[in-house]
Chain A
Amino acid sequence: MAASPIGSNPVIVATRVDKVGTRANVARIIRVVVSLAFALVSLIPISWMVVTAFKARSDIVSAPPKIFFTPTLEGFVNLLTNRVQIPQDQAKAKLAQPNLPLFDRIAAERGQAITGPSQYTGRVLNSLIIAGASTVLSTVLGTLAAYAFSRFNVPGKSDLLFFILSTRMLPPVVVTIPIFLMYRDLGLRDTHLGLILLYTVFNLSFSVWLLKGFIDEIPKEYEEAALVDGYTRLQAFGKVVLPQAITGIAATFVFCLIFAWNEYAFALMLTTERARTAPPSIPTMLGSGGIEWSAIAAGSLGFLIPVVIVTFALRDYLLRGVTFGALKK
């Protein structure tokens, strides 16, 4: 606001005549109230989910909703293991054993014994494999294509770019029907490779756009200097462009990873048992008494944590990524 600095940092207080006084103060109070309300509204549902993951069954279904409760790992046990009911005295005997592993103890407290890991763990593994492989592929191929689009006069460039972007705009259901048929004939139905290919393609459209934006920002002069110094175009690409693009590549990698990790529709429609990933599995957790909310919450929490970490790591690129590179913030 102050135009002339006086050595020290000018105090950042509104100094325009019409921005002080009672009217302006009231406006300021309203703003604070609104921002607090907004923050609360944003966070309550998510924190509720986090809390539910640690609630016992009875606490979840109590009315009015319980805010204070004793935390338990019941939900995680339900999520990650298969159990059977065992008679009371057997359960009691188990509990008496020293050094009983935590999960067994929790199961025993509910009159159950663990028979093995649940499907869910296998599904998470599938998610990891499929998401990981497809993200690597789409990032690598995307970087190459983005470089070409950025540096060369590819014939029909803007049409091609539009075509690539429009892939991302398609409703997944539209593409799934023919791919379902294709995969069935090629034996790719319910395979890891099938999903990997599909995710790669969908992520490619996004990664090409995002990476092109990053590469556009690297001045061409660096490569030109390398070329003049006798390097080939490929070497210039490797020695000059890639190192400078590394942060953009990393950001793109993470965005693609998130998409593949969260993907539901394709996984739902193209897989059943072998290659099914976690997202389609979570809604179907039914326990002995109906929907196992704590298990679902535990699963969702497991999903949430990597996302939070990653979102925080990417915070400088968030807006850019989410708007396909429109905003450079």
Chain B
Amino acid sequence: MANIELQQVEKRFGEAYAVRPLDLHIQDGEFIALLGPSGCGKTTTLRMIAGLETISNGRILLNGQDVTRLRPSERDIAMVFQFFALYPHLSVWENIAFPLKSQGERRDSVDKQVRDVAGLLQIDSLLKLRPGALSSGDQQRVALARALVRRPACFLMDEPLGALDADFRETMRSDIKKLMLDQRATTVYVTHDQIEAMAMADRIVVMSQGVVQQIGTPAQVYHDPATLFVARFIGSPGMNLLTGTRGSDNALNLPGGNSYVPPPVWQGRVNHIEGEAVVIGFRPEAVDIQPDGALTGQIFSVDLHGSYTMLVITLGSETNVVQARVNRDDDYQVGQQVRFDVKPDMVRFFDPKTEKAVS
């Protein structure tokens, strides 16, 4: 297995940056997710690690060895593609055996390895079939098997679950995670689905428009987002973000005639933000509905989610909303006025000019 290091790796097309200088150190056995919307540079980064894209600047090290100039075939990696990339004219057995046979291994040893991996992924009954005859879920398993049979230093996956039906995706998610854990494999996994990243990764690299927004564990990016982008992108729904202007006495004026005083531990740091505006962020579960709460708003909608209920509360106008997560048993009406507090240990602050969080 291996550790991967990206040192100031960047990718430019002419003048435009696809990936701005990026530093990343991936430990042996870690499962890293590259997460972000389309066009953020995550796939480009993955392909640079694979050698399918040249690097405009920087170095990539695999187990301490500089592989920046090496071809894909010379790097000890395996890749699972979004559209499977299975060889259509070869059987499943031949597809899985391909990386071994390309190195000239003997047939009987190849056969054993193929069958082992096929058994692991429960596709042994499909070995004689062609990819065209398989469901997409099975095809993805074959693609995984082909990557696994190599026992490479690291696995690269480019949105492998993107082409699958929703129900398949969930089972495959846990299957892949378990598989990688068992193999103690170093994995770099690209996805645009933050739920996937949160569920599977040891650490997540959140990217937007070529820039790394934050590198952290799922807990870190969830509870302590480093930028406004991360705050919005992570979690479903994303973090509530309200822009407040400085008022008197350390209070912040919020829409709807509300006034909010940051908790004492944050006071100093909030005062350091230049300018009039400060952004407050808190997750739906940080909303505490209390009859004597500091903030007021009007309930715009009540969405029953079965085990909990989501309220959308407007502060003053419909452009300023707060989503609140409440017990399913509690009774709320649309149009009802509510008062609520924000749990002090769950509130965060951001500088609207730099979009960065106040630490």
A binds B: yes
Interface of A toward B, CB cutoff 8 Å: 1-8, 10-11, 15-18, 20
One digit per residue, 1 when the CB lies within 8 angstroms of any chain A CB and 0 when it does not, for chain B 15-30 equals 0111000000000000
Q: Given contacts A3-B158, A6-B210, are A17 and B13 in contact (CB under 8 A)?
A: no
B51 touches A10 (CB 8 A): no
A-B complex: 8 closest residue pairs judged by Cβ atoms? A18-B71, A3-B43, A17-B51, A11-B13, A4-B43, A15-B53, A15-B54, A4-B44
* Min C-beta distance of A165 to chain B, whole Å: 27
How many contacts between A and B, using CB within 8 angstroms? 52
Dominant secondary structure of chain A at its interface with chain B: loop
A17 touches B38 (CB 8 A): no
* Min C-beta distance of B163 to chain A, whole Å: 14
A4 touches B52 (CB 8 A): no
* Min C-beta distance of A11 to chain B, whole Å: 5
Task: Count chain A CB atoms within 10 A of each CB in B42, B54, B70 and give the residue with the most.
Answer: B54
Task: Count chain B CB atoms within 10 A of each CB in A2, A3, A5, A7 and give the residue with the most.
Answer: A3
Q: Given contacts A2-B13, A4-B44, A6-B210, are A17 and B72 in contact (CB under 8 A)?
A: yes
Of B13, B41, B69, B158, the contact of A10 (CB 8 Å cutoff): B13
A6 touches B51 (CB 8 A): no
Dominant secondary structure of chain B at its interface with chain A: loop
B38 touches A4 (CB 8 A): yes
A4 touches B41 (CB 8 A): yes
Of A6, A8, A16, the contact of B52 (CB 8 Å cutoff): A16
Q: Given contacts A10-B13, A17-B72, are A3 and B47 in contact (CB under 8 A)?
A: yes
Residues in B with CB closer than 8 Å to A1 are 52-53
Please report the total number of B residues contacting A with Cβ < 8 Å: 24
Residues in B with CB closer than 8 Å to A11 are 13-14
5 A-B residue pairs with CB within 8 Å: A2-B18, A2-B44, A15-B53, A16-B52, A17-B69
Q: Given contacts A4-B18, A4-B44, A6-B210, are A18 and B51 in contact (CB under 8 A)?
A: yes
Of A6, A8, A16, the contact of B53 (CB 8 Å cutoff): A16
Chain A residue nearest to B19 in the complex (CB): A4
* Min C-beta distance of B325 to chain A, whole Å: 34
Residues in A with CB closer than 8 Å to B72 are 16-18
* Min C-beta distance of B97 to chain A, whole Å: 23
B40 close to chain A: CB less than 8 A: yes
A5 to B13, alpha carbons, bound, how many Å?
10
A320 to B327, alpha carbons, bound, how many Å?
66
Residues in A with CB closer than 8 Å to B18 are 2, 4, 6
* Min C-beta distance of B188 to chain A, whole Å: 14
